[in-house]
């Protein structure tokens, strides 16, 4: 799905969850009971055509090619309302957008990011890849002890309002890593990027990875799955 219609859909779902929270709050009685049920959280999986997105705290100069070159390659570009810097989405990358009401889980955005990272770390382990974190840098990396030889396999950028989240993670499963040469990924110039397929040494499909990642996130957040579409 192209980035802009997907972003619009995310916003629609995000706003509906917030609206349900507000409506439910407004029906709470003196006894502390609400007439409306809790809002339903969502987990969206998507694969985007080539696109660069720039977070609120990002630097547009981390796009290191011209707009004409992006157009020539068919790469869209959007400044957006998540945290983080510049990143790339494209075919072979599993993008996950959790739209969660954190009031039903925990109200700690740092813990939320660590849970997302942990879900990816566990998924990498399912395929025999040892991945982890680097202090002070959000994301999931391989060869974290290698200093500048460490390679990012998954990037993160989120938005949270009224403890409802949107945006999420971009997991390089079988991505064409040459497209990362268009940018300084996440504004980090001294480390590389990688994909699950590259680390394993064979082509891995998104369909192999989706159920693994979903199950690990479900185990971490302890949510009840009510529908898959």
Question: What pLDDT is recorded for position 228?
Answer: 54
57-87: pLDDT as tens digits: 888 898 999 999 999 999 999 999 998 889 9
Tally of residues, the chain:
229
User: Is residue 124 annotated as a catalytic residue, yes or no?
Assistant: no
**CA angle 187-189-193, nearest 5°?**
90
Taking a C-beta distance cutoff of 8 angstroms, is the pair 38, 64 a contact? no
**CA angle 131-198-216, nearest 5°?**
40
Taking a C-beta distance cutoff of 8 angstroms, is the pair 27, 34 a contact? yes
Residue 74 DSSP class: T
The predicted model gives 21-35 an average pLDDT of 80
Which residue of the set 6, 124, 154, 186 is catalytic? 186
Domains of the chain, earliest start first: 3-220 (3.30.930.10)
147-184: pLDDT as tens digits: 888 999 999 999 999 999 999 999 999 999 999 999 88
184-221: pLDDT as tens digits: 877 776 778 999 999 999 999 999 999 999 999 999 99
Question: What pLDDT is recorded for position 136?
Answer: 86
With 0-12 / 13-18 / 19 or more C-beta atoms within 10 angstroms meaning exposed / middle / buried, residue 110 is: exposed
Distance separating alpha carbons of residues 214 and 206, to the nearest angstrom: 12
pTM of the complete model: 0.93
């Amino acid at each position: 799905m192209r980035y802009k219609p997907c972003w619009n859909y995310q916003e629609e779902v995000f706003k509906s969850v917030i609206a349900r929270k507000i409506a439910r709050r407004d029906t709470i009685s003196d006894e502390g009971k609400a007439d409306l049920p809790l809002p339903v959280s969502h987990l969206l999986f998507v694969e985007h055509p080539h696109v660069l997105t720039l977070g609120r705290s990002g630097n547009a100069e981390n796009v290191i090619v011209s707009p004409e070159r992006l157009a020539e390659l068919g790469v869209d570009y959007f400044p957006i309302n998540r945290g983080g810097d510049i990143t790339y989405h494209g075919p072979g990358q599993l993008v996950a957008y959790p739209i969660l009401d954190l009031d039903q889980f925990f109200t700690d955005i740092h813990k939320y990011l660590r849970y997302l990272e942990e879900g990816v770390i566990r998924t990498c382990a399912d395929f025999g890849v040892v991945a982890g974190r680097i202090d002070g840098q959000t994301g999931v990396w391989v060869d974290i002890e290698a200093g500048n030889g460490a390679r990012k396999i998954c990037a993160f950028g989120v938005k949270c309002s009224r403890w409802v989240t949107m945006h999420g993670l971009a997991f390089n499963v079988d991505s064409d890593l040459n497209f990362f040469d268009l940018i300084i990924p996440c504004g980090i110039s001294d480390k590389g990027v990688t994909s699950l397929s590259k680390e394993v040494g064979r082509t891995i499909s998104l369909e192999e990875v989706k159920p693994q990642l979903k199950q690990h996130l479900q185990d971490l957040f302890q949510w009840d799955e009510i529908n898959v579409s």
